[in-house]
Structure 1
C-alpha cells in the first residue's frame, strides 16, 4: 500500500526541457520526442497541455525507449461543471455494487494493472512507472482503487490513475477485471474531483468507452484556455 499522499503537493526540482507551443502541433498532436520522466519534466508537460506516450519496444536513435509527447486536436474532456448523467445501468451499478472503493491506497498497483490487463498498454514502460510513482509520492499523481473483499482478502479489480496540476486532472489509464469496475472507479473519481473543487478533467483522446461515460471533444485552443484557468485554482484534497 502507498504511504499518505502529501497535500498540498511538493514541488520537485525544475527541468531544462522546453516543449514547443502546443498550438503549433499538427492534428495528431506529436510535439516532441524524448525519454525524460523526471517529475519536473512531467509537471511542465501537464501544465502545458502535453502528455507522454511511449511506443512499446521501439527505441530512439540513442537507444532509449521511444517516447512521443502529444497535444492532440481536438482534446477530450469530461465536463465537471455539470451534474454527471450516467446511464441507467451505471446508476444501478453505483447503487448496489459490492466493492470497496478507495483513493490513493495503491497507486503502484493500479498503474501496474493498467499495463497488465490492457493489450494496448505496452506504453506503460518501467521508466514511465518510476516517473509517475515519484509524482505520486510528491502528491501530484492520484489513483482510485476498486477492491473485491468477498473472499476475506482485498483483491484489486478496478482502478484509474492520473496527474493533478492546479484544478486540472489528467486521467491517464484505467482497468477492470470485473464487469464495470473501471466505470465505478471513473464515476467515483468524477465525484471526488467535483467535491474537491477541480474544474477540468482531461481524458486526452476520445474512444467509444469514454464517449459512453459522457466525455466530449473540444478544440485544442479551448482546452488550453481552460487549462490556463484551471492552473489558477487550488482544489482541496481528493478524499
Structure 2
C-alpha cells in the first residue's frame, strides 16, 4: 500500500510514546487546582493532538474565565511528573524502528524539550538523532502542513514520497494538506471516523511499506 514511500514521519504523542491521555490527565489536574472541573476523558476526546494554545482558549471560552499567566508552566510541570511516573513507549514501536530501512523522523505539535524528555524516558531517543521537528521551532502547528513539509525537506524526500503515521484527526489533516500518504495508528479503533487506512499494531506497518519480513 505504501511501497512508493521513501521516508516515514512519526507523530510523537500517541504514536511513539503512550502520552496523549497522560497529557489530558495533567490538564485536568491543573484545571482542578483552579477549581475548574474538566474530566480527562472529555478533554482527550475533544482535543487529541490539538495545539495547546487552542485548547486553553477553548477551556477559557466554555468556562467564561481566563487562565492565569503561569498556567502553562504549571501544566507542563504536572505533565513532566506524570511522564516520570507512568510514561511507556507505544507497544511494538521499538521493534518497528529497528526494522525500518527508510529515513524517518518525528514531527510533533509539542515543544522539542517535551519530545526529548518523553523519548529519553522510554528509551527511544537514540533512534532519532537530530531528526526531531517541533511546531514551536517551525512556527506551524497541525492541522497546517508546514511542520510535515519542513520535516520532509530536512530528510530530502518529496512530500508525496512520505508516509505520516498519526493518531489524531488534526495530524491526519496536516498530512493530507502536505500531500503525503497517511496511516492512522490507533488501538481500540480510536477516531474510527477518520477516513484513512489504519492499523492497530505497529507490527502491521512493515508489510504496508513492503519491507522484508524478519
Structure number with higher relative contact order (C-alpha < 8 Å, ≥ 6 residues apart): 2
Structure with the higher fraction of residues in strand conformation:
1
* TM-score normalised per structure 1: 0.27
Flag the structure with higher helix content.
2
TM-score (normalizing by structure 2)? 0.30
